[in-house]
Amino acid sequence: METSASRRFKQNVPLLWMFIPGAVFYLLFKYTPMAGLVIAFKDYNLYDGIVRSPWVGLDHFRLIFSNDLTIDIIVNTLWLSLLRLVVGFPFPILLALLLNEVRATWFKRSVQTMVFLPHFFSWVIVGGIVLTLFSQESGSLNILLERWFGYTHSFMYQVPSWITIYLGSGIWKEAGFSAIIYMAALAAIDPVLYEAAAIDGASKWRQIWHITLPGVSTVVVMMLILSMGSIMEVSFDQIYILGNPAVSSVSEVISTWVYQLGLQGGQFSLTTAMGLFESLVGLLLILTANQIARRMGKELW
Amino acid sequence: MVIVYILLCSVTLLGCSTASSGESDPAGKDGGKSAAKGKMSAAVYDRGNVPADQGTIRDNWATKWINEAGPAEVNFVPIPRFSDNEKYNTLFAAGSAPDIVWSYGSDFKGQLITQRQAMPIEDLINETSTTYKQLLEEYPGLKKLTTAPDGHIYQIGRINGLQPNDALFIRADWLKALNLSVPQTTEELFEVAKAFATEDPDKNGADDTYGISLSFITNSLIDMMFGNISPVVENDELVNGWDRKKDALAFKKQLFDAGIVNKDFLNDKDGANAKEEWVTGKLGIYGGSIDGIDEMQVFATLMSNNPDAEVLCIALPASSYGQFSGGLIPPIQVVGIVNANAKDPEAVMKYVDFLSDKANMTKLAYGDEGTDYTLTEAGYPALKQPDNPKFSWTNDVNLLYSPAFFGSRPAYINSLNLENPIEKAWLELYDQATENYLSPDRPYPGVTFTEFRPVLPKELQTISSTVNGQIDNILKKAIVSGESYSSDQAIVDAQNAWKQVGGEKIDAWWQDWYTTNKDTAYLTKDLYTK
Amino acid sequence: MRASAGEKVFYAVNYLVLLIAGMLCFLPLVHIFATSFSDPGMIMAGRVTLWPLQWNWDSYKALFMGTRIMGAFGNSIVITLVGVICSMTASIAVAYPLSKDYFYCRRFFSLAIIFTMIFSGGLIPNYLLVKSLGLVNTYWALWLPGLISTYNMWVMKTFFQNIPRELEDAARIDGCGELRLIMRIVLPVSVPMIVAISLFYGVAYWNNFFNVLIYMNDTSKYNLAVLVQQMIFSASNPQLAIEPDLQRAIAPEGVKAAGVLVMVMPILIAYPFVQKHFVKGVMIGSLKG
C-alpha cells in the first residue's frame, strides 16, 4: 500500500532529474562568481588578484556615504527608478488590454508589430530621435511652437521637462515589448468564461472587471515584484545619451558613475561596493513587495 | 527520462571539448623555425575597419609579414578601440593580457604601473636593445617622458615631431562680404561672430547662420584662448586657474545669450551637429582636427555645397592672458607598456626594435617602393593611392610609427595630389596651421602637455574624476541658464564643490610636484625643443 | 450580439488610441528606412523625413562591401538559434518542477534562485570563471552563463502554475507519466507563453553586444550588434574599407541607418509568424479535445 510520503517521492523523482542541470547552472554560473563580491571589502588591485588583495572592511562604504556627490547619485537613481516604475508600469498592461479588445485581426496584428518595434532600437538611435524632436534650436516641437505661439522652450535643459522626456521615451521604447507577456496571459483566459458572462447579460466593462483583470492579476503582481529586484538598475545607455550637464543634478546615476570609475578608471573595489549596496536595496524591496503580495494571496514564494 | 538525461550530458560534454579547443593559440603552430624566434603576444587596436578581403585585424598581410620577417612569433590580440579599457581590465584580471599593451591614455597606463602590471625595461633596453636604445639617446625627451618618478622606464613611445591637431577655421568670404578683418583678440572674435550670426553674410535673405560653435573642438579651442587649462603656471607657481575659468565661462555665456551659437550644443556630444552646420554653410567659425584625412573630406563637402566659400585657418585670438595654441600633437608620444608578466621579455624588446626601425615603419605604412609608393621631392614616401585599403589601418598594428622620420606630417599629407584643387587648398590650410600653432610665441597654455601630466595618487584620483565632472556640469549649466544663473555664481558654486570634496589637497599636490620637479620634468617649453 | 452604443464608442476610441500608439512607434522606423535609401547630399542637408529622396543604394553598397556584415549576420543567427533552444530547454526544466507544490524544498530553491537575480559577482569574477572553463573566444561563453534568465524562467513557472489542475488530473487518471504529461498536455497548452519567452530570449541573444565584445578575440566571431555599434561609435565617420570614390559619396547617417535596418529586419520578418499565437481562445482546443 502506497503511503503519501512514498507517493510524493515517486512524483518528485522525475522533477529532480529535470531540475539538476539547472541547479548546476545556478551554482556554477551564478553563485561561484558571487564570491568575487568580497572585493567590495578589499582594496583590489591587479597584482594581488582577488585572493591576496588586502582587506579594508567597510572603508569603501564609508567613502560612499560620506560624500555628498555619491549620496546624490544614489538618491537620483532611486527617484528615477521609482518614477519609472510607478508611471511606466500601467502602460503595457493597458496596451495589452486594449489590443485584446480589437476584433479586426489585421489591425490587431499590425498595431502589435508596430508598438513592439522601438524595443529594438538602441538608445543611440532613440536618443537621436528624441533630440530631433525636442532640441531647442531645431527640434520639431519647438519649430511648431515658434510658429504657433512665438516662443520656444528648452525641454532638454529643464529638470521637469527632462524627467518627462526621460520617462516618456522609456515607456515608448518598452511598453510594446513588455505588453507581450500580458497578451500571452490574456490569450490564456478561457473564452468560455466570456461567453457565459455575455449570456448572463454582463456589459463589456463588467466582463473586463470580473474576468480579464482577475485572469491577469497573478502575472501583473509577479511582474511588479520582479521589477522591484531590478529597481536600482537605471539603464546606462538611456541616461548617457539623454543626459546633459544642465540636468546633471538628476541625471547622474549609479550606472554612469560605475562606468566612469570602474570599467574605465579601474576602481573595481569601490564600484563593487556600490553594486553590493544596490543589490541590498533591491533585496529589501523585493522582500517587502512579496510580503505585501502575500496578504493578497499572490506571493511569489 | 533517463535517456533524455544521458543525451543532454553527452551534448554538454561535446560542447565543452570543442570549447577548449577554441582557445588554441594560432601562433603555437610552428615548424622547426620556432627554436630561433621567441614567442610573444601584442595588442592591436580594432576599429572594425579592415576590409574583408584583407583578412582580419589579427590575420592579414601585415601580421603575416611581421611574423615572417620579424624577430618573434607574434600572436595579435584585438582590442576594440572604443572599449579598450574595459577589455584590457578584464584581460589583466584574468591574467591573459598581451605582452605589449598599447594605449594612448596616460591615466590608464598610470594605473597599470601603480598596480605593478608594467615591466621596468631600462635594463632590458640597455643590455639588449639596438634601434630603440638609439632613439632614446637621440631624443632625450622620449627618455624623460617614459621614465617614471621612481626612476624606472615603464613605457615605450614614438617620435611625432610637433604637429598641429586642432585648428580654427573661418569663412574668409564672409569676412570680405561684411568688410571685416581676421579677429586678433577675443573681443574682436566676439564682434566677428556676432556679425556672422546677425548680418546675413551669405546674403540669402534668411537669418539662418551661426557665428561660432560651442561644441567639441571649437569649445576646447575657446578655452585655450583664455589659457583655461588646469593646473596652470602663474608667477612661477602652479595654481588652479579659477579666474581663467571665469573669463572663459563669461565669454561663452555672452555668445549664448546673444544668440550667436546653436543653443543645443550641450547635446552635440562629438561635434556632429557643428560639423553639419559647417558643411552646409551655416557656420562661420569652426574648430576641426587636421591630423586625419576625415577633416579634409569635411572640407571637400563644404566646397562642393558652397563653391564660393573661402576658408582660412587662423591663429587663436589673444585674450588678457596671452595668446596660445591648443590641441597639438606632442613631439613625443607615449603609446604603450610591456606587461610585467611577459614570459619572453627579450623577444618583446626585439619586437620593439623591429617596429622602431625606419625601414619597417615604411613597409607597414607605405608598402614597397614603386608598387605602393613613390618618393616626394623632399624624399618622403607618398602612397600612390591615398586610400589604399592595404594601409588605411596599419597604424593600429604599429603604434611606434614615428612621423618624425617622414617629415613630421601625417602620412596622408605627404600623399596629397596637388593637381586636385581641393587637396591643394587643404595643404595650404595645413601649412597655415603649422605656422599658427607651432610657434613658442603662441605656446600651449598648460604647464605641460595634458598627456604628460603625472598621475595623481589613487585617493586624489577618485576625488578628481568625480568633482571635475561636477564642475564641468555647473559651468555648462551656467552657459544655458541666462539671467537665472550668472557666471560669477557658477564659479562660486564650483569652488565650493571643489573645496567640499577636498580639492585643495589636489591643488597642494600639484604645487608640491611642480616645486620638486620643475627642473627635471617634461614641461611645455620642451615641446618646442627635442 | 449587437454592441451597445457605449461599446461602440469604446471600440472607436480604442482603435484611435491604438492607431496613434502604433504610428508613434512606426514613424521613426520609416524615417530610418528613408534615410538608408536616400541620396547622401539630401541626408546631409537634413531634408529626409519619411520618404527616400533620390533613391540611392550607395549606403547599402558601402555597408555590404566595407564591413563584414554578412559574416556578422550569420554569426548572429547561429548565436540566437542555438541560444534560444538551449535556454528554453533549460528554463522549462527548471520552471516545471518549481511550479509543482509537492516539489521538495520548493521554497528554498525559489528563494535561492531569486537571490541570484539580485546579487551578481560582476564582470571580473564572471570573466575569470569563463576563462577557467576554457570558454573564452567560443560562443559557449555566450550560451552558458546566460543559459537561464531567472526573470524569464519565473514567468514560465507562473504560467505553468496557472494551468488548471483538471487537465493534469484527467491525464494522470489516464495513466500519464510526468514526461508524457509535459509533452502532451503542459507544453501544448502553454504555447503563447513559450512563444513569448522564446521571443524574449531570441531578442536578448540577437542584441547581445557587451559579452561578445569582451569574450571574443577573433573579430570574425563578432555579431551584428557589435558591428553596428562599432560603426556608430566611430564618431561621425564610420571607417569603412571601400574605394575612395564611394567613401566620398556616402553620408555616415545613411550607412548607419542601413546598418540599423539590417539588424531590425529579421525580427520584423519573423514576428508576424510568431504573433498568431497571441490570439484569444487557444485554450479551447485543449479543453474540448
- What pLDDT is attached to residue C232? 62
Topology, domain B35-160+331-383: D-Maltodextrin-Binding Protein; domain 2 (3.40.190)
Contact C196 A183 (CB under 8 A): yes
The torsion angle over the Cα atoms of residues C218, C223, C226 and C232, rounded to 10 degrees, is: 120
The torsion angle over the Cα atoms of residues C262, C266, C271 and C273, rounded to 10 degrees, is: 150
Spell out which residues of chain B touch residue A47, defining contact as CB-CB under 8 Å: 115-117
CATH 3.40.190.10, chain B: domain bounds: 35-160+331-383, 164-328+419-437
Question: How far is Cα B347 from Cα B351, in angstroms, rounded to an integer?
Answer: 6
**Of residues C232 and B448, which shows the higher confidence score?**
B448
Which tens digit of pLDDT belongs to each residue from A250-268? 888 888 777 766 655 667 7
Question: How far is Cα B161 from Cα B373, in angstroms, rounded to an integer?
Answer: 22
C-alpha cell at position A90: 500601467
Task: Give, rounded to a whole angstrom, the gap between the first and last alpha carbons of chain C.
Answer: 27
- What pLDDT is attached to residue B31? 38
Nearest-Cα residue of chain A relative to residue C21: A115
The single-letter DSSP state of residue B40 is E
Question: How far is Cα B214 from Cα B264, in angstroms, rounded to an integer?
Answer: 9
Spell out which residues of chain A touch residue B490, defining contact as CB-CB under 8 Å: none
Q: Which of B314, B305, B251 lies closest to B278 in space, CA to CA?
A: B305
CATH 1.10.3720.10, chain C: domain bounds: 68-239
Cβ burial C139-152 (10 Å sphere, 16+ → b, else e): bbbbbbbbbbbbbb
Question: How far is Cα A57 from Cα A50, in angstroms, rounded to an integer?
Answer: 14
Spell out which residues of chain B touch residue A71, defining contact as CB-CB under 8 Å: none
pTM equals 0.78
Which tens digit of pLDDT belongs to each residue from B141-156? 888 888 887 889 999 9
Among C124, C179, C239, the residue with its CB nearest the CB of B93 is: C124
Spell out which residues of chain B touch residue C44, defining contact as CB-CB under 8 Å: 276, 279-280, 301, 305
Measure in Å the smallest separation between the Cα of C107 and chain B Cα atoms.
25
User: Looking at the predicted structure, is the pLDDT value of residue C238 above 60?
Assistant: no
Q: Which of B259, B260, B277, B279 lies closest to B268 in space, CA to CA?
A: B277
pLDDT tens track, chain B, 530 positions: 454 445 444 444 444 433 333 333 344 344 334 446 888 999 998 877 777 778 888 888 999 999 998 898 999 998 887 778 878 888 888 888 999 999 888 778 888 888 888 999 999 899 999 999 998 998 888 888 888 878 899 999 999 888 888 999 999 999 999 999 999 999 999 999 999 998 888 888 777 889 899 988 899 899 999 988 888 888 888 888 899 999 999 999 999 999 899 888 887 777 878 888 898 888 999 998 888 777 888 888 888 888 889 999 999 999 999 899 888 888 888 899 999 999 999 999 999 999 999 899 888 888 888 888 888 877 888 888 766 778 878 888 888 888 888 888 887 787 788 888 888 999 999 999 989 998 888 888 888 887 788 877 777 877 777 788 788 888 888 898 888 888 899 999 999 888 888 888 899 999 988 888 888 788 888 888 75
Nearest-Cα residue of chain B relative to residue A13: B1
Min mean pLDDT across A165-169, B112-116, C60-64, C213-217 is at C60-64
Nearest-Cα residue of chain A relative to residue B461: A265
Nearest-Cα residue of chain C relative to residue A266: C124
| Burial (Cβ within 10 Å: 0-12, 13-18, ≥19) of residue B269 | middle
Topology, domain B164-328+419-437: D-Maltodextrin-Binding Protein; domain 2 (3.40.190)
Among C26, C104, C281, the residue with its CB nearest the CB of A114 is: C26
Q: Which of B423, B186, B190 lies closest to B284 in space, CA to CA?
A: B190
Q: Which of B336, B334, B338 lies closest to B449 in space, CA to CA?
A: B334
Q: Which parts of A156-267 fold into alpha helices (H)?
A: 159-187, 191-199, 204-207, 213-229, 236-242, 248-251, 254-258
Contact B116 A47 (CB under 8 A): yes
Contact A138 B465 (CB under 8 A): no
Q: Given CB atoms, is A71 within the 8 Å cutoff of chain B?
A: no
- What pLDDT is attached to residue A255? 80
- Cβ proximity of B401 and B361 under 8 Å: yes
Arch. (CATH architecture) of C68-239: Orthogonal Bundle (1.10)
One-letter amino acid for residue C124 of the chain = I
User: Looking at the predicted structure, is the pLDDT value of residue C143 above 90?
Assistant: yes
Query: Mapping DSSP to helix (H, G, I), strand (E, B) and coil, where does residue B79 land?
Result: strand
Domains present along chain A, CATH in parentheses? 58-295 (1.10.3720.10)
In the structure, what pLDDT confidence band is assigned to residue C245 with cuts at 50, 70 and 90?
low
Residues 6+ apart with CB under 8 A from B30: B73
Contact B58 C219 (CB under 8 A): yes
- What pLDDT is attached to residue B456? 79
- What pLDDT is attached to residue A264? 58
Measure in Å the smallest separation between the Cα of C207 and chain B Cα atoms.
17
Measure in Å the smallest separation between the Cα of A211 and chain C Cα atoms.
13
Question: How far is Cα B11 from Cα B22, in angstroms, rounded to an integer?
Answer: 17
Measure in Å the smallest separation between the Cα of A120 and chain B Cα atoms.
22
Geometric angle at alpha carbon B238, from B236 and B242, rounded to 5°: 120
- What pLDDT is attached to residue B102? 92
Which tens digit of pLDDT belongs to each residue from C146-192? 899 888 898 888 888 888 888 888 888 887 777 778 888 888 888 88
Nearest-Cα residue of chain B relative to residue C237: B294
Geometric angle at alpha carbon A176, from A175 and A178, rounded to 5°: 65
Stretch (H or E) spanning B288: strand B285-289
Among C90, C103, C192, the residue with its CB nearest the CB of A21 is: C90
**DSSP string for residues in C186-251:** IHHHTHHHHHHHHHHHHHHHHT--HHHHHH---GGG--HHHHHHHHHHSTTS----S-HHHHHH--
Measure in Å the smallest separation between the Cα of A9 and chain C Cα atoms.
9
Q: What is the ipTM of this complex?
A: 0.78
Residue C29 C-alpha from the chain's centroid: 17
Query: Mapping DSSP to helix (H, G, I), strand (E, B) and coil, where does residue B233 land?
Result: strand
